[in-house]
């Protein structure tokens, strides 16, 4: 576990960065240090914790360019990296604003007049976070920020595919005395993440179903909570009454933003037969208008494929679809440019559920489009999946779209839009099927899930309780 790991640059294909996983003893020491510091962090009180996080935000703002440069080298894309950093700053502000109301203690009347109830919550001392490579900064902090505000210490193991962003964060963190001992980053691959589970009181994981299953099993053996955000194969249903221009624009963005490297990407599209031809022709035309951000990173909307292994998966899904009769109308291949792997937005028709591109997570800018004859068929196809992360429905009216959306087995349904959970985090939701385990990562529950509820049942008089033994 002490061997160095070379990190590939997704734009150049060169291995130009090295991380060193901690040996078991050092990992234990880091976790123990965070656990010891957590007591003082919690005793700071919520106002103190908010002040520390706001201080950290200012320190990062002062070094924003170095963080941007690191994220660009991690992911090969510029505009989404800027958006990712802005979203990170916004999440600090949002949680600092929401936390006082969410963490209020309460006193309640009870059904027994002389027994009072005081309700409080106690944080899990040490939270572990294992985060992925597609949004390295945002997804490493999406659980960490609310956990810190709850009073937990946090140890983060980011993906070994995109770890460069950690260095500028640590530099800024060293300037915040109250925070630096309770927010720890450890570098390493899967075995480091697996070892981390043995030291924490709660684990958050974002990644594949297969790895998530192993995380859940390890957590279960230790009797600790596991909050898992796993894969998706998000469907979009476009009814005959839908605004085609709106639907194609929304689905294009929802499918190819960040080169489709998002669990909440639209990965399959079901369109009413009566508008099918017009829909896919318009989608193809809009897809053609998007350009690769190559060779100039500041031009074009489509960045490289970040993980080399993902390029192979995308190629396999496209080859499987073509072999089984799919027709490619634009894009359609993974190409090597300047050492990096790239894929242009791709629209396919003549697809079916015998194809990997309709059933397995592709994680690329791929839009397979399939017609349906009636609403029942559309709902059946949308639900014909092992995943249930999110979905989208387009119709001429909100009521018509909602009526269909309520039949879809997914945690978040965008109505006349797509992938809205990437933008709006207020709505609590639990993904269905194999897409998640544990409490909601969004809405108020995203903070309160890091607290254990504690009840004080207080006898308020000196009389004998009527249920005690009668000893007269």
Q: End-to-end CA distance of the chain, in Å?
A: 69
Q: Which of 232, 233, 237 minimizes the C-alpha distance to 250? A: 237
Which contiguous run of DSSP H or E holds residue 459? strand 451-459
Q: Which of 137, 148, 176 is nearest to 55 (CA)?
A: 176
Contact present, 139 and 88 (Cβ < 8 Å): no
Token readout for 464 is 């004998």
d(CA 291, CA 337): 14
d(CA 162, CA 74): 5
Record the tokens describing residue 226, joined without a space: 């596991």
Query: Of the listed 84, 160, 229, 361, which one is catalytic?
Result: 229
| CB-based contact 442:425 (threshold 8 Å) | yes
What backbone phi and psi angles, to 5 degrees, belong to 302? -110, 115
Question: What is the C-alpha separation between 301 and 257, in angstroms, rounded?
Answer: 8
- Active-site annotation holds for 472: no
Written as one string, the DSSP assignment of 233-271 is -EEEEE-TTS-HHHHHHHHHHHHHGGGG-STTSEEEEEE
Compute the distance between CA of residue 83 and CA of residue 102 in angstroms, rounded to an integer. 27
> Active-site residue 217, yes or no?
no
Burial classification of residue 52, based on how many CB atoms lie within 10 Å of its CB (0-12 exposed, 13-18 middle, 19 or more buried): buried
Distance CA(472)–CA(353), nearest Å, equals 77
364 and 262 Cβ atoms separated by less than 8 Å: no
CB crowding 275-311: b at 16 or more within 10 Å, else e: bbeebbebbbebbeebebbbeebeebbbbbbbbeebb
**Distance, CA of 227 to CA of 216 (rounded, Å):** 8
Set 31, 152, 263, 343: catalytic member: 263
Q: Quick one: 438 exposed, middle or buried, by C-beta within 10 A (0-12, 13-18, 19+)?
A: buried
| DSSP code string of 143-160 | THHHHHHHT-EEEEE--T
Active-site residue numbers?
229, 263
């Amino acid at each position: 576990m002490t061997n160095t790991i070379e990190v590939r640059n997704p734009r150049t294909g060169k291995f130009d960065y090295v991380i060193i996983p901690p040996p078991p003893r050092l990992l234990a020491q880091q976790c123990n240090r965070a656990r010891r510091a957590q007591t003082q962090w919690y005793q700071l009180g919520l106002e103190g914790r908010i002040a520390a996080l706001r201080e950290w935000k200012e320190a990062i703002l002062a070094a924003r360019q170095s963080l941007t440069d690191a994220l660009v080298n991690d992911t090969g894309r510029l505009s989404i990296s800027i958006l990712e950093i802005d979203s990170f700053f916004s999440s600090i502000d949002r949680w600092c604003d929401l936390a006082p109301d969410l963490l209020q203690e309460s006193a309640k009347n009870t059904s027994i007049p002389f027994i009072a109830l005081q309700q409080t919550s106690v944080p899990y001392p040490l939270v572990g976070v294992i985060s992925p490579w597609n949004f390295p900064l945002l997804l490493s902090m999406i659980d960490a920020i609310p956990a810190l505000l709850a009073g937990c210490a946090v140890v983060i193991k980011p993906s070994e595919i995109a770890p460069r962003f950690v260095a500028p964060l640590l530099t800024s963190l060293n300037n915040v005395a109250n925070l630096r001992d309770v927010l720890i980053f450890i570098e390493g691959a899967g075995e480091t993440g697996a070892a981390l589970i043995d030291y924490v009181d709660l684990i958050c994981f974002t990644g594949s179903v297969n790895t998530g299953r192993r995380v859940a099993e390890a957590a279960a053996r230790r009797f600790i909570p596991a909050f898992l955000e796993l894969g998706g194969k998000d469907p979009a249903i476009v009814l005959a009454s839908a605004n085609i221009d709106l639907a194609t624009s929304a689905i294009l963005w929802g499918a190819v933003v960040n080169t489709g490297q998002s669990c909440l990407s639209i990965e399959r599209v079901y369109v009413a037969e009566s508008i099918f031809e017009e829909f896919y022709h318009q989608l193809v035309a809009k897809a053609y208008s998007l350009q690769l951000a190559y060779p100039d990173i500041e031009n074009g909307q489509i960045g490289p494929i970040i993980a080399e292994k993902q390029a192979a998966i995308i190629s396999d899904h496209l080859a499987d679809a073509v072999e089984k009769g799919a027709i490619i109308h634009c894009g359609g291949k993974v190409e090597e440019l300047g050492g990096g792997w790239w894929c242009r937005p791709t629209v396919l028709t003549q697809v079916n559920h015998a194809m990997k591109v309709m059933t397995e997570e592709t994680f690329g800018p791929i839009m397979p489009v399939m017609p349906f004859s009636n609403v029942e068929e559309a709902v059946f196809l949308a639900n014909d999946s092992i995943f249930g992360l999110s979905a989208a429905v387009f119709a001429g009216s909100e009521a018509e779209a909602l009526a269909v959306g309520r039949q879809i087995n997914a945690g978040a349904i965008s109505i006349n839009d797509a992938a809205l959970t990437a933008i709006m985090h207020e709505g609590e939701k639990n993904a269905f099927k194999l897409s998640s385990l544990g409490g909601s990562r969004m809405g108020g529950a995203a903070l309160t899930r890091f607290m254990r509820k504690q009840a004080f049942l207080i006898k308020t008089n000196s009389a004998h309780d009527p249920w005690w033994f009668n000893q007269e």
